[in-house]
Amino acid sequence: MQEIVLNARTVAIVGLSASELRASNFVGYYLQRHGYRIIPVNPNEEHVLGEQVYPSLRDVPEHIDVVDVFRDPAAVPEIAREAVEVGAGALWLQFGVISAEGARIARDGRLAVVMDRCLKVEHARLLGRMHWMGFDTGVIAGSRR
């Protein structure tokens, strides 16, 4: 999980909402601020967070490191098949997006899989900022870095 967060450059966000109040928009905005290139995937939008939106992963014209999913769990197996097809590096399923079948499809397609976790939270855990809000990061160390 740590490697995915640290090595990814391009993150396709499936189900990225244009509404600033939705969790997907929070995460997309946050990832942009921290230097990731985000690619919105949503059949109902044209531009979100200043980026061109694509209707599906198959339409994205560049390599995707992480497919980050904010969709109903029932939609995940199809998204996983598309992620395998386009040669994405990892499938990341956000809080509550739990699909054993989707995870299996992605793993069979040699994608790394993270499920029921928030990409923003895991990034903040590594960066140390999650700690500022009194959350348990699980980091135990007496060394400087």
Partner 1 sequence: MDEVQREFGFHTRAVHAGQRPDPYTGASATPIYQTAGFVFEDTESASAYFNLQEYGNVYSRIMNPTVAAFEERLANLEGGVGAVAFASGLAAQAALFFALLEPGDRIAVAKALYGGSTAQLNHLARKLQITVDWVDMDDAEGWRRAVTAETKALFAETIANPGGNVLDIELAAAVAHEVGAPLVVDNTFATPYLCRPLEWGADLIVHSATKFIVGNGTTIAGAVVDSGTFDWSNGRFPSIAEPSSAYHGLRFHETFGVYGLLMKLRSETLRDFGAVLAPFNAFLLLLGLESLAVRMDRHVANALAVAEWLRAQPGVSAVRHPALADSPYRPLVDRYLPAGAGSVFSFDLESGREGGRRFIEALSLWSHLANVGDTKSLVIHPASTTHRQLSDEELAASGVAPGTVRLSVGLEDVDDLVWDLERGLHAARGSAVVA
What's the CA gap between 87 and 109, in Å, rounded?
A: 9
Using DSSP bridges, classify how beta strands 66-69 and 10-14 pair: parallel, antiparallel or unpaired.
parallel
The stretch near partner 1 (CB under 8 A) out of 46-54, 61-69, 79-87, 121-129 is 121-129
Residue 58 or 98: the one with the smaller Cβ distance to partner 1 is 98
What's the CA gap between 116 and 102, in Å, rounded?
A: 12
Q: Site residues for partner 1, window 79-108 (CB under 8 A)? A: 95-96
Q: Pattern of binders to partner 1 over 9-28, x per CB under 8 A?
A: -----------xxxx--x--
110 counts as binding partner 1 under rule CB under 8 A: no
What's the CA gap between 71 and 56, in Å, rounded?
A: 13
129 counts as binding partner 1 under rule CB under 8 A: yes
What's the CA gap between 36 and 68, in Å, rounded?
A: 12
Which of 47, 63, 104, 131 touches partner 1 by CB under 8 A?
131
130 counts as binding partner 1 under rule CB under 8 A: yes
Measuring CA to CA, which residue among 60, 64, 70 is closest to residue 10?
Answer: 64
- Contact between 90 and 77 under an 8 Å Cβ cutoff? The reply is no
Please report, as ranges, the residues that interact with partner 1 according to CB under 8 A: 1-2, 20-23, 26, 29-30, 33, 95-96, 112-114, 118, 121, 124, 129-145
